[in-house]
Amino acid sequence: MSKTVVQPRTKTKPQTARPPLYKVILLNDDYTPREFVVQVLKAVFRMNADRAYGVMMTAHRRGACVIAVYARDVAETKAKEATELGKQKGYPLFFTTEPEE
């Protein structure tokens, strides 16, 4: 009967791999009040008032704005949570995610 011989590991994996990051993107719409968008950005993405206002206005003027990048599960959870806050108020506010290039 042959026995499996376990050799000591001689190669070490380079410890440089990082999880791919995902962008959270805020989309403009015609109905959600500006002030409410600012509130959501502050609450979910921990932005100060100035940054939240700037991000909201960028989405308002350009149609969309990248908010931040996170590991995939964090990005998806925050996008869902923020979209849900709008939904609870009957607003079409929408946050999406996409992988960073």
**CB of 28 within 8 A of CB of 60?**
yes
Cα angle 70-27-85, degrees, rounded to a multiple of 5: 75
Per-residue binder mask for ligand TYC (CB under 6 A), 51-80, x = binder: -----x--xx--------------------
Smallest gap from residue 33 Cβ to ligand TYC (A): 5
List the 64-71 sheet strands across, edge first. Answer: 64-71, 21-27, 94-99
**CB of 56 within 8 A of CB of 48?**
no
Show contacts with ligand TYC in window 11-50 (CB under 6 A).
26-30, 32-34, 37
Question: Measured from the CB atom, is 34 or 46 closer to ligand TYC?
Answer: 34
Residues that bind ligand TYC (CB under 6 A): 26-30, 32-34, 37, 56, 59-60, 93
